[in-house]
């Protein structure tokens, strides 16, 4: 029941946002046919022919409907610039971005939550060092972190490649390690902070204190009462940040010249390649939606109050 409700909500969000994505492109200045003729002076007849070829003269809602029906069938149309199938274009690019985001997500979970838990449980020096590091990680812009990482680990030490996405799984992991680190830094820092605060709050919570008062061993209180309960807010933050990584990956892809959808999007926007931009925007929204759905499900698994368990 809970899942069904969430799925319906996700579908609603996707439909609404697909409309926004479609509408926004037409609200933007400049028109696609002007780009297609690339500034050459052409006769109105040619322009009209182009408009007809791309069905630009149809009423807005009709165009939206046709586009939506095609998208639902997995047909994102043709790129306006090189007449390639957008779906194919994306299929070539998605694995790099997906892997980059997945690796960054793993780093965020391991280091963000891990360091946050340690800082929350320890007082004194360990805590201070982790806070300082997290402040630093949060303050450094991603592109700058990318440059520093490259100059240290690729150029000076030669441990990692400077650009490219690699072939095959292990080679890809090797190529994407530095980009993933750069991408995960700010989010890992935020997650570490939230985790630390949450852990501290739960340490002082009445049910943790009373568990101690009942003679439950400290390690068990920490595991069962402090860490488990502190993961409620952390789950939300981690989910939002991982979903946001897809958008953030564009900067990193550019810095490390990776052939992901980020670079594709930047190029498409510059060339006003509607079909590509719309497709990527929809994928972003869908990924965000799915991520949020996963977080909700996880949340429900942890917290009976969210599951809607009633008396």
Judged by the rule CB under 8 A, the positions of this chain that interact with another protein are: 204-207, 209-217, 220, 224-225, 228-229, 232, 302-305, 309-311
Q: Which is nearer to another protein, 140 or 232 (CB)?
A: 232
Half-sphere exposure at residue 254, Cβ-oriented, CA atoms within 13 angstroms = 13
Q: Which is nearer to another protein, 86 or 117 (CB)?
A: 117
The dihedrals phi and psi of 42, each to the nearest 5 degrees, come to: -125, 160
- Closest separation between CB of residue 216 and another protein, Å? 5
Q: Which is nearer to another protein, 56 or 216 (CB)?
A: 216
Q: Which is nearer to another protein, 28 or 209 (CB)?
A: 209
Q: Which is nearer to another protein, 194 or 226 (CB)?
A: 226
- Closest separation between CB of residue 214 and another protein, Å? 5
- Closest separation between CB of residue 108 and another protein, Å? 23
Distance CA 302, CA 298 (A): 6
- Closest separation between CB of residue 215 and another protein, Å? 3
- Closest separation between CB of residue 135 and another protein, Å? 22
- Closest separation between CB of residue 287 and another protein, Å? 29
Q: Which is nearer to another protein, 51 or 224 (CB)?
A: 224
């Amino acid at each position: 029941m809970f899942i069904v409700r969430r799925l319906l909500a996700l579908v609603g969000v996707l439909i609404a946002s697909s409309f926004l994505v479609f509408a926004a492109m037409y609200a933007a200045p400049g028109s696609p046919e002007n780009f297609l003729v690339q500034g050459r002076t052409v006769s109105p007849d040619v322009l009209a022919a182009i408009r007809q070829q791309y069905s630009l003269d149809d009423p807005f809602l009709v165009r939206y409907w046709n586009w939506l029906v095609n998208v639902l069938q997995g047909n994102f149309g043709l790129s306006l610039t090189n007449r390639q199938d957008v779906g194919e274009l994306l299929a070539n690019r998605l694995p790099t971005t997906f892997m980059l985001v997945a690796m960054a997500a793993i780093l965020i979970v391991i280091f963000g939550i891990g360091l946050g838990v340690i800082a929350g449980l320890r007082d004194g020096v360990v805590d201070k060092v982790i806070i300082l590091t997290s402040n630093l990680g949060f303050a450094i812009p991603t592109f700058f972190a990318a440059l520093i990482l490259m100059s240290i680990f690729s150029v000076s030490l030669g441990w990692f490649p400077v650009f490219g996405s690699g072939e095959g799984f292990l080679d890809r992991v090797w190529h994407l390690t530095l980009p993933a680190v750069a991408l995960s830094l700010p989010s890992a820092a935020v997650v570490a902070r939230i985790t630390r605060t949450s852990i501290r709050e739960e340490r002082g919570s009445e049910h943790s204190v009373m568990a101690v008062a009942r003679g439950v061993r400290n390690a068990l209180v920490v595991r069962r009462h402090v860490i488990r309960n502190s993961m409620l807010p952390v789950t939300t933050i981690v989910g939002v940040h991982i979903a946001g990584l897809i958008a953030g990956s564009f900067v990193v892809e550019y810095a490390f010249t990776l052939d992901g959808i980020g670079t594709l999007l930047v190029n498409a926007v510059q060339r006003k390649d509607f079909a590509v931009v719309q497709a990527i925007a929809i994928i972003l929204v869908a990924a965000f939606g799915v991520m949020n759905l996963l977080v909700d499900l996880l949340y429900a698994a942890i917290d009976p109050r969210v599951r809607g368990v009633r008396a």
